[in-house]
Amino acid sequence: MFSLINCYFKEIADLCGITKRLTMHVARHTCATVVMLANNVSLENVAKILGHSNTKMTQHYAKVLDSSILRDMGSVEARFEK
C-alpha cells in the first residue's frame, strides 16, 4: 500500500516541480512537525495519532520548531508579567 502512496507522492512532486523525494516517511515527519506540533498538539497526542506506543519514536519524527519555542517562551513571559 505504501508503495502506491509513494507513487502518488512522486507524481505530485513531478507536477509541482519538487526535486526532493517525497515518501510516506517524509509525510509523517511533515505532519508531526509542521501540522501538529506547530498547532499546539501535545507530543503524547502526536504519538497516539502516529500509532506509536510511546513518545520516544515520536521524538524522532517531530522536530522542535523555533516558532514553538518562541510561542512557549512568550507564554511563560506573559505569566510573569501579571
In the predicted structure, residue 39 carries a pLDDT above the cut 80:
yes
pTM (global) more than 0.85: no
Q: Look at 64 and 12; give whichever has higher pLDDT.
A: 12
In the predicted structure, residue 23 carries a pLDDT above the cut 80:
yes
Q: Look at 65 and 72; give whichever has higher pLDDT.
A: 72
The residue range of the domain holding 17 is 2-81
Q: Domain tally for the chain?
A: 1
In the predicted structure, residue 52 carries a pLDDT above the cut 80:
yes
CB of 47 within 8 A of CB of 55? yes
Long-range contacts made by residues 66-73, C-beta under 8 angstroms, separation at least 24? 67/38, 68/37, 68/38, 71/40
pLDDT at 48: 93
pLDDT at 7: 93
Q: How big is the CA angle at 79 (ends 63 and 35), to the nearest 5 degrees?
A: 25
